[in-house]
Structure 1
């Protein structure tokens, strides 16, 4: 059954974490990191889906600390995914203002520490042992890369359209990586050759899957870029990959 738990941080703070539990013994613990919209309904639904696959899933709310609570994230998502271009354009200044907190230099350090605290919590849960993996989407894909670089307890990582860290930080990744992209996502696709080269130089087991007909955020079935065919294929690839390394 899904639940919300409160996880303590090293700085004395707390974060809320959505937890989805499997029906039986977990195959491992999975850190699921949300998109730039925060811990919204789409992400809790994905957490439930991973739990049905056998994972004990912990999806921390790391964006409220940056100023975007889930209710605001849902509202911004609806505006930015409107079919009306004028509505999307008018919402952009509000979007930039709402996300200004997570662009502060100290935010990334806080977020990585919060994710490590989530890993701490997972390792303490019955049946998980040291079988820890991470995945995330967009903003969360970027942080999935980062938690793998900062915490060698993560044994597999599957970022969806995330920005990889710089080469010196890639060298700290010890887990195998399956990275998922849409070809119609120019910034990430243009950077992919250099990322692939850096991964190879660092000795990271890195696989990139690129879907020719998809754009950024193609996995989100509540958004206007959703591609059901590619999303289904990505789900099969990621669940198989994560299970094989649990």
Structure 2
């Protein structure tokens, strides 16, 4: 594994995964609510293997969810025993209280923009910067696309978009991925698609019928869907290749 880096002029550390040779661009990989656990580092490594400079910032440690705490919560939440899973819920509510405050959201976006600043200075990136994220991170991938016009492509996985008033600020193409059994997001998707169209955003949604929330996370036997994960990975790479070329 590559070492953690400090993002200049920010509060963030991040995992940096290097491509072999000149990068095809850069990808910001925003973690799930579990924080910067090994699974997210492995996703960054996969992007690096495809030729991208991948940076996965830790935007939860300052809110009280370090990678070790996040891994503990994830282990409880994915346990096969329902009673054990239930014990995770009050603990999660306690640990994630800070992330529900409006001030946290503003802070997180300001810090993610520092990641964009950093990537702009990296050799070979040449402004070719994309963002992806999962669940909590998917929502922040949407939000960063709305907040920073330097982002050239966004690929949120099962994330919620920003308020409708912010959608008009999105200046890059978005390809979003959802599980068909993810009821909350499926219920809101028609309105989201309409709002994106009304704002003139280049928005595409791929829905995997029969897949659940967190279908991409291969460390969670309860939700992982190998077919959906494989197809979405292929589509993400094609999307980035087209938009960052």
TM normalised by structure 1 equals 0.97
Is it true that 1:48 corresponds to 2:59 in the alignment? no
Residue 24 of structure 2 corresponds to residue 27 of structure 1: yes
SS in 1 for 2:210: strand
Q: How does 1:164-183 map to 2 (within 5 A)?
A: 164-183=161-180
Partner of 1:238: 236
Structure-2 separation of matches of 1:174 and 1:237: 21
Write out the 4+ residue segments of structure 1 that deviate beyond 2 Å after TM superposition.
Answer: none
1:114-139 CA distances to partner (integer Å, 9 max, x unpaired)? Answer: 10000111110000011010000000
1:8 aligns to 2:8 (yes or no)? yes
Task: Tell me the equivalent position of 2:158.
Answer: 161
CA distance in 2 between counterparts of 1:103 and 1:151 reads: 22
User: Contact between 1:2 and 1:48, CA under 8 Å: does it hold in 2?
Assistant: no
Gaps of 5+ in 1: none
Q: Point out where structure 2 has 5 or more consecutive residues left out of the alignment.
A: none
Aligned match of 2:203: 206
| Matching of residue 124 in structure 1 with residue 121 in structure 2 | yes
TM-score after normalising by structure 2: 0.98
Q: Provide the secondary structure at the position in 1 that maps to 2:236.
A: helix
Please give the per-residue CA displacement for 1:140-198, whole angstroms capped at 9, x wherever unaligned: 00000000000000000000000011211000001000000001011100000000000
Q: Could you give the per-residue CA deviations for residues 53-101 of structure 1, whole angstroms, max 9, x where no partner exists?
A: 1110110000111110000000000000000000011221111101111
RMSD of equivalent CA atoms? 0.9
Q: CA deviation at 1:227?
A: 0.3
| Alignment-derived partner of residue 78 in structure 2 | 81
Q: Cα offset for 1:201?
A: 0.5
For residue 184 of structure 1, give the secondary structure of its aligned residue in structure 2.
coil
CA distance in 1, matches of 2:3, 2:139: 25
Q: CA deviation at 1:243?
A: 1.4
**Equivalence for 2:67:** 70
Paired position in structure 1 for 2:214: 217
Aligned partners of 2:30, 2:163: CA distance in 1, in Å?
20
Could you tell me how far apart the structure 2 residues matched to 1:108 and 1:85 are? 31
